[in-house]
Structure 1
Amino acid sequence: MDADTSLVLAFLNTVDVEADTDVLRSQRNWQEWAGQRQLAADPLDEATRARDSLRAAVGDPDAQSHPTRVHIEVALTTAGPALVPGSAVAAVLAAATRLAVLGEWDRIKICPADDCRWAFCDRSRNRSRTWCSMKVCGNREKARAFRQRTATRPT
C-alpha cells in the first residue's frame, strides 16, 4: 500500500467503532498519533471535523461533513510540483488530494457493518468490494441474512 493511502486510512481509522476507541478523544493521544508520523498536531476540534468530513466523503453514514480548510503550500522541486502540508490534517488532505488526482480516491471505502465502520482500500479490479474483510464482516452479514431468510420460510 502506498504512503498516501496508508496515511488516509490511518487517519480515518483513528476511530474504532468495534473497540469503542477514538484517538481524537484526547489532545495527548492526537499529538502522539501525529508525532509518530513526524507531523504537527492540529487543534483537536479541527482534526475531528476533518476526520468526520473525510469519513462522510467516503461513505460513512454516521459521519457529517464540515467545512474544512487547511494551509498547504505548493513547492516547485527538481522532481516537479509538490504539496507541502504544514500540519497533520493538511498532510492527510494532501494525501487524499493526490489519491483523487490519480483516480484512486474511490477505492477508499467504509465497511457498511454497523458494528465495524472500518475504512479500507478496495484493491479489487472492478472496485466492487463491500466489506473490510470477507472473513469477518462479510461472513457475519451473510450469515445474518441467511438466518433471516430461513427464519421467515414456512416449514
Structure 2
Amino acid sequence: MHTDACLVVAFLNTVDFERGDDLLDDPGLWRRWAEDHDLTPNDPAEARAARDSLRAAIGDPRLSVRPLEVPLRFAMTAAGPVLITPDAVTAVLAAATRLTIREDWVRLKICPAGDCLWAFYDESRNRSRTWCSMRVCGNREKARSWRARTATVHN
C-alpha cells in the first residue's frame, strides 16, 4: 500500500467501533500515534472533526460530510514543490489530496459490516473489494445471509 494511503487509513482507524475505542479520547495515545507517524498532534477536537469528515466522505454511514478548511503551504525545493505539513491533520489531508490527484481516493472504503466500519484501501485491480477482510467480515456477512435464506426456505 502506498505511504499516503497507509497514513490516511491509519488516521481513519484511530476509532475502533468493534471494541468501542477512540484513540482521540486519550491525549496520551493521540500524542503517541502522531509521534509514531513523525507528526505533531493537533487538538483532539480538530483531529476528530477531520477524521469524521474524511470517514463520511468515503462512506461511513453514521457520519455526514462537513466542510473542512485547512490552509496548506508549500515550499519549492530542488526536487519540486513540497507540501509543508506542520501537524497530523494537515499531513493526513495532504496525503488524502495526493490520493485524489492520483485518482486513488476511490480506493479508500469503509467496511459495510455494522459492527466493524473499519477503513481500508482497496488494492484490487477493478476496485471492487467490499469488505475490510473477506476472512472475517465478508465471511461473517455471507454466513448471515445464507442462514437468513435457508431459514426462509425451511419455514
**TM-score scaled to structure 2, two decimals?**
0.95
| RMSD between superposed Cα atoms in Å | 1.1
Contact 1:111–1:130 under 8 Å retained in 2: yes
- Matched residues in 1 for 2:35 and 2:64: separation? 26
Corresponding residue of 2:129:
129
- Matched residues in 2 for 1:134 and 1:38: separation? 32
Equivalent residues in 2 for 1:29-68 (5 A)?
A: 29-68=29-68
- Matched residues in 1 for 2:74 and 2:41: separation? 20
What is the identity, as a one-letter code, of the residue corresponding to 1:132?
C
Q: Secondary structure of 1:152's match?
A: helix
Q: Give 1:64 shift.
A: 2.7
Equivalent residues in 2 for 1:40-119 (5 A)?
A: 40-119=40-119
- Matched residues in 2 for 1:71 and 1:34: separation? 19
Q: Give 1:154 shift.
A: 4.2
Gaps of at least 5 residues in structure 1 are none
- Matched residues in 1 for 2:82 and 2:97: separation? 12
* Identity between Structure 1 and Structure 2 (%): 57
- Matched residues in 2 for 1:85 and 1:72: separation? 8
- Matched residues in 1 for 2:67 and 2:60: separation? 17
Q: Give 1:110 shift.
A: 0.4
The alignment of Structure 1 onto Structure 2 pairs a total of residues equal to 155
Where in structure 1 do 4 or more consecutive aligned residues deviate above 4 Å? none
